[in-house]
Amino acid sequence: MLPRPLSASRRGAFIGLVAIGIGQALAAIGIALLVERGFNLLVSTSAPVPAGTVSALVAGLVLAVAGTAVLRGVERVACERVGQHYVREVREVLFAHLTRVPARALGHKHRGSMLVRFIGDLSAQRLWVSRGLARLLVAGVAIGLAVTALAVMNPWLGLAVGGVLTGGALATWAASPRLLRTARTSRRHRSKLTGEVTERLTQLGVVQAAGQERRESKRVGRHSSRVSEAMIDQARASGWMRAIAEGTAAAAAVAALLVGALQVRAGQATPGTVVAALSIAGLLSSYLRDLGRVAEYAAAASVARAAAQRFLDLPALPDPAGLPDLNGERGELDLDAVSLGDALHRVTLRAEPGQTIAIVGPNGAGKSTLVALAARQVDPDHGHVLIDGQDLRTRNLASVRRAVGISSPDLPLLSGSLDRNVRYRIPRCDDIEVARVVALCDLDELAAALPEGWRSNVGEGGNRLSAGQRARISVARAALGRPALLVLDEAEAHLDRGAATVIDRVLADHTGTALVVTHRRELVERADVVWCLAEGRIAEAGPPHRLLTGHGLTALLFDRAAATNRPEERSDQTVAGREPERAALPGDPGNGTPAPGWL
């Protein structure tokens, strides 16, 4: 649930804003009374006005004007402070939810919408609180007290100015739905444009390799045109709002002048009262101009808040406070009749402590889904996932993350130093443990080749490194701290045959349980148990020597792979400008073997 602007934590700040509004109203009333007094003295008699009286009036006006200026400055800071306090709370709520939403659920969300939510939407909500709601509070108090004071001075003048302000408020309310519609439309188009540009930037190599630069430029251009049209339409609606505010301010001054003139002619008001009314109307005009943007801020914030609430409605992994830690030292894994959507159907399996499990199967068999359940990257729709007899849903997420290390091509590196990426799971890990995984994954040689060694920035997603280098760092990150359960989901996909021995060394050194999704026969042969999946179900499970030599699906998959992976058709050597390639398997992108069932 999104926090509310008028929450208890901000109550004191809003009370302070009310006090500022009262101070500004008193300053405006003081100016009006001093103006009335001075004007009546000057026009009511031909005798010289005593110098002391003039000095007192001037000093009073200077103090009132200075007080108004100071209060406006204080108000700006106070409004921004309350807006920043609110948006910080919203940002924390959204990011906390983001960290618990399964990555596969976020995969269906457009990146542009996500970026707009965390940048544009937060900015819209901050502006609403700091320049909309807070300003509305201050201006509302000031206007209400000023008009009340004017009504005390002369009821007809108060009624005239108050009536004009009421009419302006009603006109603003009537025009608000159109502004809300245009704000919603412009946000939708900006999200799409941001998503298009973001995707093209992150996949620029694909665009260039396919020679689609002109086509993509036209596509972005079309989205840009829609954004321009939507923003112009929104500006048109906002312009009407500001026009209403400006018109209301001018009409209030005219009403004060006309009604005041009639009152003077009828002998029911003095000229000084009319001048005082005009001064109050002039001071109110600045508030009215500010309030002309309040509806604009409110519309943008309403759209942003609705989008943020839709994001919070995404199902997240439950992690209520007070759950005990997972005591996962042995690494025994139980999958008890787990099902998840169409990916897995009532799968029951057990990995004994210390075992290495090779997970194989055709494309779409559910292998990655199974290891995601084991790592609690997602919860099953039905069934239970247990480590050392403890249901992962009954243990806090932080302890589960410590007990499970996972490496996958879908879990890229983060921008930052090489050292930061290796230590990311356990930032304060001791140097001895770091040295262990560094040696296993041959990272000292990599660090030595980088310009700044271990402090070298690997780039966004590790884009300054080769795919094989990124894979080794990812494996080291997962193996750091000897997790009870080590999950390697196609971790060797970008490693050549020589570098793939990194996986062998890591598994040989690992003392806990390991789940390895792999296509490499040698790795399957060295596993303790093989789990073969097909269409979300267990096709067969057992020791590798039996499954690889039998007549089941496992033997079929690896016999087909061997038949199409002849030595003369591949090379393990790196050639200039190319990544080292792993053994070509049926169904791999770029492999001509027509075996679409393999992944």
**CATH number assigned to the domain comprising residue 372:** 3.40.50.300
Residue 184 lies in a domain: yes
One domain, residues 203 and 352:
no
Q: Which of 483, 504, 529 is the last residue of a domain?
A: 529
Residue with tokens 């700044």: 452
Please write the tens of the pLDDT for every residue from 229-269.
Answer: 999 998 898 888 888 888 988 898 899 899 989 988 888 88
Residue 238 lies in a domain: yes
One domain, residues 308 and 364:
no
Phi, psi for residue 178 in degrees, rounded to 5? -65, -40
Q: How far apart are CA 200 and CA 207, in angstroms?
A: 7
Domain count of the fold of the chain: 2
CA 484 to chain centroid: 32
Beta carbons of 303 and 183 less than 8 angstroms apart? yes
Residue 398 lies in a domain: yes
One domain, residues 266 and 373:
no
Please write the tens of the pLDDT for every residue from 261-281.
Answer: 998 888 888 888 888 888 888
Average pLDDT, the chain: 84
Q: What is the pLDDT of residue 116?
A: 56
Q: From residue 93, give the alpha-carbon distance in Å to each of 2, 13, 232.
A: 7, 21, 33
pTM of the model: 0.72
The token pair at 372 is 């995601």
For residues 366-389, give the mean pLDDT.
94
One domain, residues 345 and 292:
no
Lowest mean pLDDT among 159-173, 391-405, 564-578: 564-578
Q: What is the pLDDT of residue 460?
A: 84
Structure confidence at residue 519 as a pLDDT band (50, 70, 90): confident
Structure confidence at residue 117 as a pLDDT band (50, 70, 90): low
One domain, residues 194 and 54:
yes
The dihedral through the CA atoms of 36, 39, 45, 51 has a sign that is positive
Residue 586 lies in a domain: no
Q: Residue length, the chain?
A: 599
Residue 557 lies in a domain: no
Query: Can you state the angle between helices 294-312 and 51-98, rounded to 10 degrees?
Result: 20
Q: How far apart are CA 362 and CA 366, in angstroms?
A: 9
Residue 212 lies in a domain: yes
Q: Which of 484, 510, 529 is the last residue of a domain?
A: 529
Residue with tokens 């983060």: 414
Q: What is the pLDDT of residue 589?
A: 33
Residue 580 lies in a domain: no
Q: Which of 471, 498, 529 is the last residue of a domain?
A: 529
Q: What is the pLDDT of residue 291?
A: 75
| Alpha helices (H) in 51-154, listed in sequence order | 51-98, 103-106, 111-116, 122-127, 134-153
- 3-state SS class at 485: strand
Please write the tens of the pLDDT for every residue from 73-116.
Answer: 999 999 999 999 999 999 888 888 888 888 766 655 555 456 55
Q: What is the pLDDT of residue 574?
A: 33
Q: How far apart are CA 383 and CA 576, in angstroms?
A: 50
Which H or E element spans position 339? strand 333-340
Select, from the ranges 165-174, 310-319, 527-536, the one with the highest average predicted confidence (pLDDT).
527-536
Q: What is the pLDDT of residue 6?
A: 87
For residues 534-557, give the mean pLDDT.
92
Asked whether the predicted pLDDT for residue 597 surpasses 60, the reply is no
> Closest Cα partner for 513 from 531, 488, 543?
488
Q: How far apart are CA 370 and CA 313, in angstroms?
A: 25
Residue 464 lies in a domain: yes
Q: What is the pLDDT of residue 470?
A: 92
One domain, residues 350 and 289:
no
Residue 7, C-beta contacts closer than 8 angstroms, at least 6 positions apart: none
One domain, residues 378 and 291:
no
One domain, residues 271 and 381:
no
**CATH number assigned to the domain comprising residue 209:** 1.20.1560.10
One domain, residues 290 and 346:
no
One domain, residues 363 and 235:
no
Residue with tokens 């200026």: 69
Lowest mean pLDDT among 102-111, 249-258, 318-327, 506-515: 102-111
One domain, residues 257 and 369:
no
Which H or E element spans position 531? strand 529-534
One domain, residues 345 and 247:
no
Asked whether the predicted pLDDT for residue 401 surpasses 50, the reply is yes
Residue 465 domain boundaries: 333-529
